[in-house]
Every structure is written in C-alpha cells, then in structure tokens.
Structure 1
Amino acid sequence: MENKNKKLSLTFRMLRALGFNYSETAYGNVTFFGVIKKVFVTFRNNLLESWMDCWIFAPVLPRKMRPWIMRKWGCKVGKGCFIGDHVRIDIGHADMITLEDSVSIAGGTRLLCHQRDFSDYCVGDDYMKLGYTIKPIILKKGCLVGMESFVMPGVTIGEGAVVAAGSMVTKDLPAWTVAMGRPAKVVKQIPDRVK
C-alpha cells in the first residue's frame, strides 16, 4: 500500500510539474498514461463538438446529427429528440445523461453531471482539493428545457415538463409542470385537455 501511495505521489508531482493541477481527492487514480489517453479522447470529443454547430450540417443538426453525436459521447438518447445549437454537456460523464423519447433541449443549455462538493468547505481550505459530487441527469419523455438553462447533477425532469428559458434546475421537477427561475421552481401545473 505504501509503495502504491509513493507511486501516486510521484505521478502527481510529475503531472504538477507539467502544469496539471489534479486534486488527489477527486482524481486518486490518475496515471501519466491515463492523462495521455485523456488528451486523445479530448481531441476526438472536441472534433465531434465542432460538428455540433457546423453550418454545413444545418438541415440535419437538431434532430439527426446532434443526437447522434451525443450517443457517440455515451449519452442515452431516445427517438425524436431535438437538440438546439450551442448545447453543452458534461462530456466526461456523458454516460450518466439520459434523454428519453421526444425530449427538446433549446440552444445554449448546459447539462452538468458533476460539481465541486462544498459540504465540508471552510475558511482557509484549498478549493482545488475539494472532491466532486457526481450524479446522473434524466430528462423524461417529451420534456422541454428552455434556452440558456442549466440542469445540475442528480436532476430528473418529469414527463412533459417545461423549463423556462434561463432557469437553473437544481432539484427534480414533476411531470406536466412548468418551472422557472434560479433555482427553478414549479409555477404551474399543465392541465388535462378538456374534450
């Protein structure tokens, strides 16, 4: 065990000398070759990301190309989804993002599966040494996330729910509701259609 810790410390010292400031708490199993692999994966992901908003593919971007790219990153994307321009996802945790059928995500939205864990953060602590909270995101069938919104880790947006533009969703939203604000709060229940 001591030999393994010594090896990790040596790896971290080497990475820090090269300018990488990894938190040992958050990235305890980082190796030099792991970082090299990450460079190549990041290159591939950046290439795919550049296709997300490429004007050449404009006619097929929202319903064909962007869902396909998100699947390549590891997201679970259902049928008939609409992904607007400049939508950004947590590529490092793409496998934790689920979009059920007919989900619509408007332009500029961010889907984040990780954030720093501030639960034990105190005066004098080093922010860079904090660990992360990592949780999945689930967007249920037919929901809509409005422009420039943020969906934070651990959130499930219910079936048919509508998130207003510019909102920050920090907690689960029930099905067939309208939510808005930062943090997003339910402001309306969507009614049944009267026949």
Structure 2
Amino acid sequence: MIIQGTDSYTAPSFSLRQRLARQLWDITWMLLFRPTPRPLHAWRRSLLRVFGARIGEHVHVHPSVKVWAPWHLTIDSFVGIGEGAVLYSMAHIHIESYAVVSQGSYLCAGTHDFNSPNMQLTTAPIKLKRHVWLCAQSFVCPGVVIAEGSVVAARGVVSKSLQEGWGIWAGVPARRVGERDQQVARP
C-alpha cells in the first residue's frame, strides 16, 4: 500500500487509488459524519461500515472523531470513542470490546523513518485489548498492543506495548503506577 523508495518531499507515499478513496472518505466525513447530532451513533457506524470498517454492536463514535482510513479499522462491540479522538489508521487499528478511547486521544499507526534519506513512511498496527481505557489526550504509537484491562492516564504516551494487563499506566513514556480491579470486567 505504501509506495517504497519515493521522495516523500516531492512525491506521494500512496497510490492514486488510495488517495482517491481517502478523498472520498474525507468528503463523506465532512458532509455526512461530522455534522450529525451526538445521538446518531448508528448512522456514523453505518458510514464507517460503507467505507470498509468492521464495527460491532453498541459502538459509540462521536461526530468529531477523525478516522484516517476506515478500511483499516476494526472496533468490536460495546466501545466508546470520545470527542476529538483521532484514529490515524495508516495501518490496521483494532479496538476490542468494552474499550474506551476518551476525548482527544490519538492512535497513530504511521510515522516516518527519520534515518532514511527520503523520510520513508512506515506503518505498524495498533491493538487495544478488552476493557482498555485510554484517558483524555492519550497518545499511542505505531506497533503498540495494550494489554487487557489497562488504563492509560490522561496525556500518557504509550511508545511500547504494555504486556501486563490490569494496570494503570501514566507518564511520558507510560510506566505502570498502579493496579486496576479486574472485577470491572464484563463477559
């Protein structure tokens, strides 16, 4: 999907087909997704599905959520994505059931190789496992998997996968600072 070896300063990193699909999605987001009233979650789920997202039941995606490429998105059931969150889905992003992505959080599945002469675009998938809560303005880097039941505190930056579940993680980079009660887990 990413064009390799091009000069990212002067040439596109994606095929014409990919760029046209993104343009169509951007127009749809601007005209049909973003201006909708908050309670119209079913409508926004439908629009995301039309563009290839795999979305479960009872998913609440707020109108100001920005999705880069819905076709790289899987959201299981009973998930909430808060106002102003960004799902920069240059690679696949999978959010499992009962997860919450709070307002202003940023899931970034793409970056550039700063050691390459052409600043080559690179991507890596992101996965949030069941019962994860990203608090307000959390940032998740490419290639990260966040273990089940983890809470990332407000403005935490997760640059490496969190292997141990049911912990509370805070800071830059995020470090384990506490435990979360597993009794909150739903089936």
TM (norm. structure 1) is: 0.68
Query: Is residue 168–residue 181 contact of structure 1 (8 Å, CA) maintained in 2?
Result: yes
Structure 1 counterpart of 2:170: 180
Over aligned residues, Cα RMSD in angstroms?
Answer: 2.9
Structure 1 counterpart of 2:59: none
**SS of equivalent to 1:92:** coil
CA distance in 2, matches of 1:66, 1:176: 31
Q: Which of 117, 125, 132 is the matching residue for 2:113? A: 117
- 1:84 correspondence with 2:93: no
- 1:57 correspondence with 2:55: no
Q: 1:41 to 1:66 in 2, by over 3 A?
A: same
- 1:140 correspondence with 2:129: yes
Q: Which of 15, 21, 35 is the matching residue for 1:41? A: 21
**SS of equivalent to 1:142:** coil
TM (norm. structure 2) is: 0.71
**SS of equivalent to 2:39:** helix
Query: Is residue 53–residue 86 contact of structure 1 (8 Å, CA) maintained in 2?
Result: no
- 1:170 correspondence with 2:159: yes
Identity of aligned residues (%): 23
Deviation readout 1:53-101 (Å, 9 max, x if unpaired): 43x331134xx455552726121110011011111122432xx111111
- Which one has a larger percent strand, Structure 1 or Structure 2? 2
Deviation readout 1:21-76 (Å, 9 max, x if unpaired): 237xxx4xx6xxx32x334212222134335543x331134xx4555527261211
- Which one has a larger percent helix, Structure 1 or Structure 2? 1
Query: Is residue 52–residue 86 contact of structure 1 (8 Å, CA) maintained in 2?
Result: no
Q: CA deviation at 1:136?
A: 1.0
State which structure, 1 or 2, has the greater radius of gyration over its C-alpha atoms: 1
CA distance in 2, matches of 1:65, 1:91: 21
Count the aligned residue pairs.
Answer: 158
- 1:99 correspondence with 2:95: yes
CA distance in 2, matches of 1:136, 1:90: 10
Q: 1:147 to 1:163 in 2, by over 3 A?
A: same
| Partner AA of 2:158 in structure 1 | V
**SS of equivalent to 2:18:** helix
Question: Any stretches of 5+ residues in structure 2 without a counterpart?
Answer: 55-69
